[in-house]
Every structure is written in C-alpha cells, then in structure tokens.
Amino acid sequence: MAQDGICRGAGCCRVGLTEDMSNDGVYFNPLYNTTNYYTNRSTTDRAEYRGYAVLMESNSFQFNTTYLNTTAFFDEHAGRVPVILNWAVGNETCDIARKKNGSYACLSTSSMCVDSSRGSGYLCNCIKGYEGNPYLPHGCQDIDECATNKPPCAGCINIPGSFYCPSPRSLNVVALAVGSSIGAATVVIAITCTYLFHERKKLAKIKQKYFQQHGGMLLLQEISLKQGIAFSLFTEAELIEATDKFDNKNILGRGGHGTVYKGTLKEGSLIAVKRCVSMTSEQQKQEFGKEMIILSQINHRNIVKLLGCCLEVEVPMLVYEFVPNGTLFQLIHGDNGCHNIPFSTRLRIALESALALAYLHSWASPPILHGDVKSSNILLDENYSAKVSDFGASILAPTDESQFVTLVQGTCGYLDPEYMQTCQLTDKSDVYSFGVVLLELLTGKKAFNLEGPENERSLALRFLCAVKEGRLMDIIDSRIKNVNDIGLLEEVAELSRQCLEMVGERRPAMRDVAEKLDRLSKVMQHPWVPAQHNPEEMESLVGESSVASLEMIGSGNFSMEKRIVQGLLESGR
C-alpha cells in the first residue's frame, strides 16, 4: 500500500540511470491502469489515479500519496525539477567524426570538438573568446570584452576572439585622430546645414518673388475684402502631394496651354490641377491675380468652377473642380463613338455649352473671351451635362483698341480665320469655334483630319461646300437622320453655318445662338401637334417674343420655327 515518503513499487517506483546509457524508456502496464478500472465504478466511488514519469535528481523527490490523483507535485515545483545530464554526440571520437562531413555536429566555424570524458562520443564547445551554440552554423559569436561594465583596460579595442590594449602613446594618437575626425565631421555638418538653410531661404525668396509677380498680394487683399469668394491659394507642396508628385498616371489631358492632372486633397475631395506652360507677356503676369479674382466669381452650372491657384511657382498652376466623365471629344470620337448619342442629347449638350459661353460674353463682369473653344474643352459631369473648361487661353474682353492684338494658342480646325488674318480676338472668335463644335455633334466627324483628302481635312470647309451644293444630308451623321427630326437638323445646321461666317460681324452673338438652341430644344421636347395646342402655349414654349422675332428674321433664318408658328396661328389654334 502506498505510503508517504516511501517509493518502492506501491504507487511509486524509481530507477537510477547509468553513465553509459544511450537509450531508455518508460512503460505503464495496462493491467495496472487504475483510471480504466475506476471509470466503471459509480460516481461516488470514482477516483482517477494518474500515471506519469519524471527525469530528475533522486534526492530532490519525496513521495506523497496525494500525488496519485493530482498534479500537486508539478504545481508545487511550477513544472520544474532539478536534473543533471551528461550527454555526448554519437559513439566516435573527434578525429573520426571530423572525417564524416555529413554527420559532424560541430557546425560553427568558431567551435571546437572535445572527446567525451565519460564514455564514447564527443562534445562541441565554442573556442575561447566566443559564446553561443556550437552546433549551429555561425552559432558561436565573438565576445566583446571591451563592452562590459568594467573593460579590461583603458582604450580597449575588441578584436575577433580577444581584445587589444593600446599603449598610452597609441591612445593619444587615437584620441587625436578621433578628435580630428569628430571636428571634421562637425565642420562638414555645419557647412551642410548652413548651405541647406541658405538654399531654403533662397527658395522661399524665389517663391515670394513669384507670388508677388503674379499678383498674389492683390489677390489676398481682394479675397479679404470680398465676402463669399470660395477661392484658395494653394502651396506647391500641397499640389505635389495631391497629384502624387505629378505622376503620369494622374494625367487627365494635355494641351497647348499645359497639362491637367487629377488630384486628391487631404480631406479627400477630388480636384483637377492644370500646370500651365508659360505666360506670354509681363502684362499678363501682372494682371494674373486680378483675372483670377474675376474668374473665381464665375458661378454657372455649365462652367467648370475655378477653386484656386498656386502662385509660388514660375508659371502659376490652376485648380479646378474635378469633372468625372471626360470630354465631349472623347464622347463623340472615342472607342464607343457617336452611335450611342441620340440627337436630343447632342442638342442638349450644345445648348448647355452655348449658355456657358453666352454667360462669359454677356453676363460676366467684365466680359470674358474663352479663346480656345473646342469639344475637348467641354467636359461632362456625372449626369453628362456640359461644363465648359480650360480658361488657359481666356482673356478679359479688351476695353480699348490697343488691347485687341494678342496671341492666342488656338486649335487647328476651330480657330477663327478672321483672327488668323487680324490677330484680333473677339467674342465672335468664340462663336466661330462653337460653330465647329456644333458640326462635330451633327456629323460625328473630327474638326480637322490630316488623314483625309486635302479638300476634306477641314470639317468646316467640307460642311460649307456641302451646304452650297445642296448636299447637307450627305454630311449629317446617318445615325441621327430621323424623319421627324429632319427639320430640326436643318435648323441646327443653318445655325452652325451662320456661326462659320468668314466675316465676324455677320456671325450671331453667343446669346442669340443660345436662345436659338433653347427654342429648338423646346420644340424637340414638345412636338407640335396642332390638335393639342393653342397659340398661347406655342408662344410660351418658343419664348415670349418669339413670334414677333420670327417675323423680323429673313426667310433663310429660323425658317422651320417660323413655318410652324405661322401654320398654327393660321389654323386658329
């Protein structure tokens, strides 16, 4: 029967290990497995005796009967008991083991082999001056004796496996060398810091110079005086961060006046940043700040909003609202092409673009000339509404004759031929360019095509020739030739022809173009069915003064509307 302090086979047994033992094992006989026996007993009688083996010093263990059904022994010793093992690798000497490269255990280059002092086999140790695990490659690492709390000597220098104590004279030389190195390094650092400080100061002065040169002080003053101006002055660093250092992947488009990048401000809002190419004159630089104030006050739903600018660079950068659905040029001439655009949508986009330009010419104060109207400068928002953009070529309307002469970087196919002869940019120059955009919407063709025959490269000239020869429908996009819309198509084509007059004075004003497109759009939205309308409804739909205006216009202008209204009035409806 098991008794406290006695370990002789009843509940406890022990066996000593010999020095030359190479293998041992522990086995519990199932016949004496008390756990299985007691498992079948009733719950009240149940006891579970646990069997376990421990390798330890014999003098460190004192048997207790409570160990039979608990782990109290391990709990008392926190899972640890003392044990001393004397082991060795294999049963060969070092000399023999070294010759067997595949099984030799001393893998560290800084290790040594020692024959076992207690039987066969060998052990591995790190050589003097190294410590670690000799059984691992690079397991023995150098001991830095000089890094201890009490180094072995003054000026101690660590070397692999040992250390070196220099003589006092050597210490002085070393101290002098170290002092000289520190002094030289200090001088270099001081010079570098001074250089960087001066360069930063120089850069700040350059930025301040550009800021003042571009009218930044005037701009700040105007912003402070005028309440409600949502206009910001961005730093170069802000725009560099927003565009990921103007990465090419963020390019939205390139043009003659600069490159436009997509950007994201810190608060998450999307912007379009335009890096302009250059400014043509000193006067333009001086007037830039003033013009920014004027442009910032433009508030029209069909004009891209100018959010701010950056003036601390040689050529200012403009920041606009981001418009997501690309350009009208891409919609017409892209991979999907014009075939997905119904005539009603084309007419609406033309009307919205005309309204924007009419606003710039007639209602902005002072009036603004765009200077580079083209389908790639008409953006489309999330609802595919038109937004006129790119005021890189814009100028304030001249107040005297001397200001008329200016060089504008227009686009081939859209540029007013009268401007090409006189270099006088007027509001009628924008009208001509808009006439070409109208043609693109009507024909689905590009304004200028270098690949075509010489007499067909210019869309405007090709259109005018077709009109002159009575072949208008030959040039109209076949995908919008609806029988019900032929009259409207002819009216839009006639409006485009008027915009393309060679002499600027003969072209309609942009507000007249917008009014005409507005009336045509309403006609398309409300088909004229005589049995369902009366004269008051007609007059309301085509404008309050439409009937009177139509009577004053020649038979060549607005003919379809005139015929419709007159027919309705004659019918008594």
Instruction: Please give the chain's pLDDT, 573 residues, in tens.
Output: 778 888 887 778 888 887 767 677 887 776 665 554 444 444 444 455 667 788 888 777 888 888 777 766 666 666 677 887 778 888 889 989 888 877 889 999 999 999 988 778 899 999 999 999 999 998 999 999 898 888 888 878 888 889 888 777 666 666 777 878 888 888 888 887 877 777 677 667 776 777 777 766 767 776 666 665 678 888 889 999 999 999 999 998 886 667 899 999 999 999 999 887 766 556 666 567 667 777 777 889 999 998 888 888 888 888 999 999 989 999 998 876 555 788 999 999 999 999 999 999 988 878 888 888 999 999 999 999 999 987 544 555 554 544 444 445 567 888 899 888 888 888 999 999 999 999 999 999 999 887 767 777 899 999 999 999 999 999 998 888 886 788 899 999 999 999 999 999 999 999 999 999 999 999 887 755 333 333 343 344 334 333 333 233 233 333 444 443 344 334 333
The amino acid at 435: G
Domains 214-322 and 325-520 share a fold: no
State the residue for tokens 């095509």. 449
Please tell me the predicted confidence (pLDDT) of residue 191: 84
Q: Are strands 232-233 and 306-310 parallel, antiparallel or unpaired?
A: parallel
Which of 300, 302, 320, 440 is CA-nearest to residue 390? 320
Which of 454, 460, 462, 519 is CA-nearest to residue 487? 519
- The third-level CATH classification (topology) of the domain covering 325-520 is Transferase(Phosphotransferase); domain 1 (1.10.510)
Q: What does the alpha-carbon distance between residue 272 and residue 317 come to, in Å, rounded to a whole number?
A: 10
Cβ(560)–Cβ(491) below 8 Å:
yes
Q: What does the alpha-carbon distance between residue 104 and residue 100 come to, in Å, rounded to a whole number?
A: 6
Among 3.40.50.170, 3.30.70.330, 3.30.200.20, 3.40.640.10, name the CATH number for the domain at 214-322: 3.30.200.20
Please name the helix (run of DSSP H) or strand (run of DSSP E) that holds residue 159, with its range, or none: strand 157-159
- Point out which residues pair with 157 in neighbouring strands: 164
The tokens for 516 are 């005409």
Of 372, 416, 430, 477, the catalytic one is: 372
381 among known catalytic residues: no
Q: What does the alpha-carbon distance between residue 333 and residue 313 come to, in Å, rounded to a whole number?
A: 36
Cβ(509)–Cβ(550) below 8 Å:
no
Please tell me the predicted confidence (pLDDT) of residue 391: 59
Please tell me the predicted confidence (pLDDT) of residue 189: 87
- Point out which residues pair with 306 in neighbouring strands: 320
Helix, strand, coil distribution of the chain in percent, nearest 5 = 45, 10, 45
Number of other residues whose CB lies within 10 A of the CB of residue 236 = 14
Ordered alpha helix ranges (H), 444-555: 459-468, 472-475, 486-499, 510-525, 535-542, 546-552
- Model pTM score: 0.57
Q: Where are the domains of the chain?
A: 1-85, 94-151+153-162, 214-322, 325-520, 526-573
- Whole-number CA gyration radius for the chain: 47
Q: What one-character DSSP code corresponds to residue 129?
A: T
Q: Is 266 annotated as a binding residue?
A: no
